[in-house]
Structure 1
């Protein structure tokens, strides 16, 4: 509230053409421009508000106790008038109370329509409260006060009625909303303009994931006009924000337009599970397989010489499998796998799995096999096989079968011999019968050329007949007893 100041008149006397001219400066101040919600206040030296105001200034409130004195210098102490005028935005409007006190008369107008009328000369302060509904938007309130005689005091205010049973008007949707995203910090800042509601209690900020609905509980509540979201997941997904205003009666506005934010993706996929060797053949290398991971764009394979050893990266694959062609035959390795998403985020490593590349190459064929007939069978001998991982020799013996043109050795395994043995005595063969033989070399991995190819170097020999007993001679043909 600004107190009134004295306005003085200054007389100036000039000599002109032998005459005296008297000029008096005007006492009314120039019209004041007052920023809403301040009032423009005008003082009149009458009770009809006629003519030019004696003084115009700005006032923050209508609340005066002038008593029996003049309200401003140059005005009378009786029969004067004061007018307050304010135009402001009431937002969504709603129910308001207009309480007044005055000695003497007071009238209150809303957009030119009288709402309060206590227009009489009184000796004590009179009071009244008018309940009105103010529409949304900009409206003008005017207060006219007059003092005819005696003491002068006046007060007026306009306040929202916020009881839930009375106020059913929703606030306006906040305007000027926007959202900005800082990829470096992963934070989103939502901003909006201050709402015009006089009974505003605050704002509620909501967030939803694309494809889902807003929840009943807001992300945050604030009385300010911005909110920084520090809990936004950095998953590369799109989220939407909206802001709703709510008043002291509990009424809430509709939401602002959805404002999207696509976050930086710093969330790695889950670690692969189910890692295990699926093929350990020498020809194809050691192949690994694992369960696919949702969101994975590729996988990285790591290898070490032991489960707790230092792992080095072997390579990448887009499929949930990998062939280690560099694994040494017979060497056991430990493997771990990670999943990598499209943003380059790498998961934790899987549990370790071990695998050994299998030896699929059989030893060289056994050479130098000989079958020497003896009185009770055959003596088999052969050259030592040079395979470094030789485990045994398998000796096969059987009968030679013929279909007239081709002969086939129908043999079975008759003996296993250690790598340092290169001979075998094959016995219990009827005199004079043919037998076929071959020897197969088998390495420590169980590789056998014969079992892999069905081929072998076969030798055939005839067992010696038994010698004639002494003193017996064949009978001459035709001889009789």
Structure 2
């Protein structure tokens, strides 16, 4: 409330070019602009509000106790009138109470329609409260007060009725909603304009992940017109915000239009699982395979000399498999794999798996095989095989089968010999039967030329008879026939 002050006109005399100029301050009735929701107040020296107001000023509230004194300098203490006018935005409107007290008369108007009428000369203060429903938007309230005789006092207010059983009007949707995102901090700031509801209690902020509905509970509740979300996951996903206003009766507005923000992606995929060696051939290299990791755009393969050794990046692949063509044959390595997403975030490393590139190359063929018949079998000899990883010699003994056009040695493994042995004695009943022989070299990886190709250098020999039956001993037979 602003008390009335004496308005004094001051004459200013100026000398200009030998003439006297007189400037007078504006009169008390000059136009006064008051910013809503402050009232414009006008004083009249009559009870009919006629003529030019004696004084116009701004007043924050209608609440005066002038008693028997004049309300302002230049006005009478009786038979005067005071008018308050305000135009403001009532938001969504709703139920309001209009309480008044006055001695003497008071009238209240809403958009020109009279809502309170206590218009009589009284010797004591009269009181009344009128309940009205104010529509949404901007409306004008006017309060007319007159004092005919005696003491003068007046008060007026417009107050939202906020109990849930009375107020069923939802607030207006907040306007001006916007969102900004700081990729450096991963924070989103949501801002909106102040709601015009007089019974506003605050705002509720909701957030949802793209493709999902909003949660029933709000992300935050605030009385401010902005909120900084510090809980956004930095996953490269899109989230949406909406703001809703709520009043003291707990009525909640509809939400603002969804405001999207796409976060920075700093979240790595999960580590790949199921890493295993799927093949370790000499020709193709050592192959690894694993289960695809969700969100992975590619994978990185690391190799070390042992499970606890230092792992170095070996290569990358877009598929959940990798071929190590650089692994040395026969050397055991340990491997681990990571998943990398489109933003370059790398997962933790998988569990380690060990693998060794298999030796698929058989030793050279055994050369120099000779089969010498004896009285009681055969003496086999051959050249030392040059393979450095030789594990053994496999001696095959069989019989020659012939269909008249082609002969075949049908043999089976008879003996395994260590790499330092290059001879073998095969004994049979000395009945002069024919036998076929070949020797195969097998390395430490189990490679065998005969088992890979089905071919071998075969020698055929006929066993000697008993000494009484055979007077001469035949020459040894060298290898060369096909198996």
TM-score, structure 1 normalization: 0.93
Task: Name the CA shift for 1:389/1:147 in 2 (closer, same or farther; >3 Å).
Answer: same
The residue aligned with 2:420 is 420
Distance in 1, Cα, partners of 2:434 & 2:334: 54
The residue aligned with 2:20 is none
The residue aligned with 2:309 is 309
**Mapped pair 1:184 → 2:212:** no
Aligned to 1:155, the other structure's residue is in SS state strand
CA offsets, 1:156-181, max 9 Å, x none?
11110111111111111111111111
Distance in 1, Cα, partners of 2:25 & 2:177: 53
Distance in 2, Cα, partners of 1:469 & 1:38: 145
The residue aligned with 1:387 is 387
Written as runs of structure 1 = structure 2, the 5 A alignment for 1:369-388 is 369-388=369-388
**Mapped pair 1:458 → 2:443:** no
The residue aligned with 1:64 is 64
Task: Name the CA shift for 1:201/1:273 in 2 (closer, same or farther; >3 Å).
Answer: same
Distance in 2, Cα, partners of 1:8 & 1:451: 126
The residue aligned with 2:430 is 430
Distance in 1, Cα, partners of 2:467 & 2:270: 84
Are the counterparts in 1 of residues 178 and 192 from structure 2 also a CA contact under 8 Å?
A: yes
Distance in 2, Cα, partners of 1:10 & 1:394: 134
Distance in 1, Cα, partners of 2:9 & 2:168: 55
Shift of 1:55: 0.6
Task: Name the CA shift for 1:140/1:191 in 2 (closer, same or farther; >3 Å).
Answer: same
Gaps of 5+ in 1: 14-22, 471-481
Are the counterparts in 1 of residues 286 and 325 from structure 2 also a CA contact under 8 Å?
A: yes
**Mapped pair 1:351 → 2:364:** no
Shift of 1:420: 0.7
Are the counterparts in 2 of residues 369 and 459 from structure 1 also a CA contact under 8 Å?
A: yes
Written as runs of structure 1 = structure 2, the 5 A alignment for 1:147-158 is 147-158=147-158
Distance in 1, Cα, partners of 2:96 & 2:133: 6
Are the counterparts in 2 of residues 242 and 256 from structure 1 also a CA contact under 8 Å?
A: yes
Are the counterparts in 2 of residues 394 and 440 from structure 1 also a CA contact under 8 Å?
A: yes
Distance in 1, Cα, partners of 2:315 & 2:446: 31
- Number of residues of Structure 1 aligned to a counterpart in Structure 2: 461
Which piece of structure 1 moves more, 161-170 or 395-404?
Answer: 395-404
Distance in 2, Cα, partners of 1:413 & 1:7: 132
Gaps of 5+ in 2: 14-22, 471-483
CA offsets, 1:89-140, max 9 Å, x none?
0011111111111111111111111111111111111111111111111110
Shift of 1:299: 1.0
The residue aligned with 1:408 is 408
CA offsets, 1:314-341, max 9 Å, x none?
1111111111111111111111111111
**Mapped pair 1:55 → 2:58:** no
Aligned to 1:399, the other structure's residue is in SS state strand
Aligned to 1:35, the other structure's residue is in SS state coil
Are the counterparts in 2 of residues 8 and 74 from structure 1 also a CA contact under 8 Å?
A: no
Shift of 1:405: 2.4
Distance in 2, Cα, partners of 1:103 & 1:93: 30
The residue aligned with 2:246 is 246
TM-score, structure 2 normalization: 0.92
Task: Name the CA shift for 1:12/1:176 in 2 (closer, same or farther; >3 Å).
Answer: closer
Aligned to 1:452, the other structure's residue is in SS state helix
The residue aligned with 1:447 is 447
Distance in 2, Cα, partners of 1:409 & 1:309: 52
